[in-house]
Structure 1
Amino acid sequence: MKIDINKDFEKAFPDDLWKGFTLKQIITFAIGIIMAAGTIAALWKFMKISPITGSYIAIPVMLPICFFGIYEYQNHSLWEMWKEMRFYRTTKKLTYGAEEAPKTGRIFTMRHPAVKKKKRKKK
């Protein structure tokens, strides 16, 4: 067995639970199938639609659940990407100490400068 050292070991050899699928993927498939079965049962009971026709309606219910649970972008799930984007947007300014920074005042302070209110001109 040849193992390339330069590859990410967790990505190249994931822990598979059943037939190459991870636990997260199996849980996502199970939730999608349960939602599709619930949709088919609800359509059959309340609207008297046959299960075969209901399965065509249940597929659009199941697909987004499976997509959001399995899709990864740059090794992040969509939930992790949403948390990263939310953190990035709430972080206003990253401060650091550097030699090229001006030496006037302190870089790290707990006080914010007071903002002077502008006076309104009366017309």
Structure 2
Amino acid sequence: MTIPINKDPDTEYKNEFMFGYTLKEVLCVAAAFLIIAGVTAFAYFKFNMALNVGCYFGIPLAFPVVFLGFKEWYGMSITRFISELGYERKTGELAFDADELEEYITPVTLRKK
């Protein structure tokens, strides 16, 4: 028996900006292209390299920008995940409550020592 359950709109459906990508993803790709173009121009004018060789030097520098725009860990973007880790270190509290401990009446929050 299959019971259809409504999907969570916040996690299932993205806010599309252009061609099915979010604004953050489009801006990260644009920034990556600007990095590649800048490295290519620098290599061309400074070292008189061919344009296609200069592009190959720019791609490894642009990859982290694209990675930050598209990758998600635990349903959060990388920047949000890093800020949550910083909050956890600063406050000493874990970012979740232990829901599996239902026998306790009061909510349980774990603390680091």
TM range (shorter): 0.7 to 0.9
1:92 and 1:9 mapped to 2: Cα distance? 32
Cross-structure match for 1:118: none
Match of 2:108 in 1: none
Matching of residue 86 in structure 1 with residue 86 in structure 2: yes
Structure 2 letter corresponding to 1:79: T
The structural deviation recorded for 1:12 is 1.7
Compared with structure 1, are the counterparts of its residues 11 and 47 closer, same or farther at alpha carbon in structure 2 (3 Å cutoff)?
same
CA offsets 1:36-81 (integer angstroms, 9 cap, x no match):
1000000000011111111111110111111012211112111111
Q: What is the identity, as a one-letter code, of the residue corresponding to 1:64?
A: P
Residues 3-82 of structure 1: pairs in structure 2 closer than 5 A: 4-5=5-6, 7-82=7-82
**What amino acid is aligned across from residue 73 of structure 1 in structure 2?**
W
Structure 1 counterpart of 2:61, which letter?
A: V
Specify whether residues 52 and 73 from structure 1 end up closer, same or farther in structure 2 by C-alpha distance, changes over 3 A only.
same
Report the TM-score, using the length of structure 2 for normalisation: 0.74
Count, aligned residues: 93
What is the CA distance between 1:93 and its match in structure 2? 6.1
RMSD between superposed Cα atoms in Å: 2.2
1:114 counterpart residue number:
none
**DSSP-derived class of the 1:66 partner:** helix
Kindly provide the amino acid, as one letter, of the partner of residue 92 in structure 2. K
The secondary structure found in structure 2 opposite 1:11 is: helix
- Structure with the largest fraction of strand: 2
**Which residue identity does 1:85 align to in structure 2?**
L
Tell me which amino acid in the other structure corresponds to 2:25: Q
Shift of 1:10: 2.1
Q: 1:92 deviation in Å?
A: 3.2
Moved over 6 A (4+): none
